[in-house]
């Protein structure tokens, strides 16, 4: 069978999900799957509605009563389906998912990522996202998986009735899947103003020409449509040149070149050429020049969800460390008795707790003041949560030794996934710039200057007055850096 580092194989096979649930069942310390309010939510208990407790309980029951018993079947079906294709990325979804989705719908748990469906605040959905991060098969069965979630939000919020009928309804029903086509190999795509794919009007059609890559989920047979970001104009205001358009995957001119490899293993991340692809004018979303605006709305909720799912993965890695520590001896003692192992466990718990609270803060800011006001906090968690999760997974691999990177452990696949997530919608340095700009935006301050201190002799003897008129050192920053 293929190595578990294959991302789509993980999500669809149930390997990692079965592993996750076993650990959850064994670890009484983990509050995530308890129906009692977790300690981390106690500061926010006044913001939690009865609807939250109802839905969270239903999700826990769904994982326990439906998903867990189904995992061996999901795994077995995928194993057989892999024999029918020439590459794992082309493997169809196991039929068992049809039944799991039906049960999720029957329990009122489908599409909870949409606030109109779940009727929860961003804060209230966050701990549910953490549960789904621990149980990826449940995440897929409940139709809460990226990139479909972001695409459905875009069409639900900005789509026309015709677009909703053709694409949103089958997506919400789990009948098809989608991909988000943004990243390009020839430009720095973390700066969306660089996107160079052309979307040109020709009568009643738009003609799309471009080269995309790292388009996640584009190869799977269930993917039927792309939400594509390109430019309808290469002049005018910089943030009004981009547009989003719906492109059917089977449209003439869509050429999937290859699956891209992550650390040597090919995944369902496609490199695609769009060569004179024609789509109806009615496929444009919201209108020309609105793509950047839509993209910012799309990324806000998704980033919080991603980060909470990352924390769920960190919890699994910590559970793996604890389990290993109790059943492995070295130099005459259990690992659990070693100071180094105990330090690693303590550090992991501290990091998880801090990141979870930062995620909740970002969620509350989004609820109270909107996603624009929460932008800095979202940037913080986008850096902190995947980075902490990756560090904890890496620590778990260290504790497991060679076993941790073998096909008998799921830690290697978790590490690969998490390392990829750290660049999935912009590398850390991009989010760091957002955070730093906020800090630097107000310029210097009297208290900062007092703490920093100055050498009085600089002003007294005046030997530096010719350096920008003494503005930087003596006057305290009359000349500001460009932000």
pLDDT single digits (tens) 267-325: 999 999 999 999 999 999 999 999 988 987 666 678 888 899 999 999 999 999 999 99
pLDDT beyond 80 at 29: no
Identify the pLDDT of residue 474: 61
Average pLDDT of the segment spanning 16-34? 52
pLDDT band with cut points at 50, 70 and 90 for residue 476 = low
Residue partners of 58: CB distance under 8 A and separation at least 6? 107, 108, 109
Angle at 337 between CA 334 and CA 339, to 5 degrees: 130
pLDDT band with cut points at 50, 70 and 90 for residue 475 = low
Query: In the chain, what percentage of residues exceed pLDDT 90?
Result: 73
Which one is predicted more confidently, 481 or 431?
431
Identify the pLDDT of residue 482: 55
pLDDT beyond 80 at 96: yes
Q: pTM of the prediction? A: 0.86
Identify the pLDDT of residue 450: 86
In this structure, what DSSP letter does residue 167 have? I
Q: Could you read off the pLDDT of 227-277 as tens digits, one per residue?
A: 999 999 999 999 999 999 999 999 999 999 999 999 988 999 999 999 999
Q: How many C-beta atoms surround the C-beta of residue 360 within 10 A?
A: 23
Q: Inter-axis angle of helices 122-134 and 291-326, to 10 degrees?
A: 50
Q: Could you read off the pLDDT of 136-187 as tens digits, one per residue?
A: 999 999 999 989 999 999 999 999 999 999 999 999 999 999 999 999 999 9
Asked if the bond preceding 370 is cis, omega within 30° of 0, the reply is no
Identify the pLDDT of residue 401: 95
pLDDT beyond 70 at 2: no
pLDDT beyond 80 at 477: no
Average pLDDT of the segment spanning 443-456? 85
User: How far out from the chain centre does Cα 396 lie?
Assistant: 22
pLDDT beyond 90 at 1: no
Residue partners of 456: CB distance under 8 A and separation at least 6? none
Q: How many C-beta atoms surround the C-beta of residue 226 within 10 A?
A: 29
| Count of CA atoms in the C-beta half-sphere (13 A) of 128 | 32
DSSP string covering 253-308: TEEEEEEEEETTEEEEEEEEEEEEEEEEGGGEESSTT-HHHHHHHHHHHHHHHHHH
């Amino acid at each position: 069978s293929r190595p578990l580092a294959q991302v789509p194989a993980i999500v669809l096979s149930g390997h990692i999900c079965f592993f996750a649930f076993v650990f959850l069942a064994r670890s009484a310390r983990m509050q995530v799957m308890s129906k009692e309010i977790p300690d981390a939510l106690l500061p926010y208990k006044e913001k939690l509605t009865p609807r939250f407790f109802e839905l969270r309980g239903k999700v826990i029951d769904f994982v326990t009563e439906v998903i867990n018993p189904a995992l061996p079947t999901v795994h077995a079906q995928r194993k057989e389906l892999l024999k029918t294709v020439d590459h794992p990325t082309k493997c169809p979804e196991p039929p068992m998912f049809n039944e799991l989705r039906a049960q999720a719908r029957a329990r009122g748990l489908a599409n909870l990522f949409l606030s109109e469906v779940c009727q929860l605040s961003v804060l209230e959905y966050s701990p549910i996202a953490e549960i789904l991060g621990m149980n990826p098969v449940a995440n897929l069965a409940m139709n809460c998986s990226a990139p479909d979630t972001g695409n459905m939000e875009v069409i639900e919020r900005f789509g026309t009735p015709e677009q909703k009928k053709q694409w949103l309804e089958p997506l919400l029903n789990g009948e098809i899947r989608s991909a988000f086509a943004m990243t390009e190999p020839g430009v720095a795509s973390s700066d969306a103003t660089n996107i160079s794919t052309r979307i040109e009007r020709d009568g009643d059609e738009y003609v799309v020409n471009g080269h995309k890559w790292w388009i996640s989920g584009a190869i799977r047979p269930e993917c039927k449509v792309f939400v594509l970001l390109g430019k309808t104009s290469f002049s005018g205001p910089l943030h009004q040149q981009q547009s989003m358009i719906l492109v059917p995957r089977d449209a003439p001119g869509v050429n999937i070149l290859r699956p891209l490899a992550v650390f040597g293993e090919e995944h369902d991340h496609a490199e695609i050429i769009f060569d004179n692809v024609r789509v109806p004018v009615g496929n444009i979303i919201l209108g020309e020049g609105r793509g950047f605006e839509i993209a910012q709305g799309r990324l806000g909720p998704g980033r919080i969800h991603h980060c909470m799912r990352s924390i769920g993965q960190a919890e699994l890695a910590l559970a793996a460390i604890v389990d290993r520590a109790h059943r492995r001896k070295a130099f005459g003692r259990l690992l659990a008795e070693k100071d180094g192992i105990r330090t690693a466990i303590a550090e992991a718990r501290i990091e998880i707790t801090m990141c979870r609270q930062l995620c909740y803060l970002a969620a509350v800011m989004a609820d109270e003041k909107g996603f624009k006001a929460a932008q800095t906090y979202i940037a913080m968690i986008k850096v902190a949560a995947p980075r902490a999760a990756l560090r904890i997974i890496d620590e778990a691999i260290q504790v497991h030794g060679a076993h941790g990177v073998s096909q008998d452990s799921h830690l290697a696949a978790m590490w690969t996934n998490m390392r990829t997530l750290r660049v999935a919608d912009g590398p850390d340095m991009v989010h760091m710039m957002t955070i730093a700009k906020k800090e630097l935006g107000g310029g210097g301050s009297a208290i900062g200057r007092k703490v920093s201190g100055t050498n009085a002799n600089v002003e007294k003897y005046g030997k530096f007055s010719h350096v920008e008129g003494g503005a930087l050192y003596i006057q305290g920053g009359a000349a500001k850096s460009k932000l």
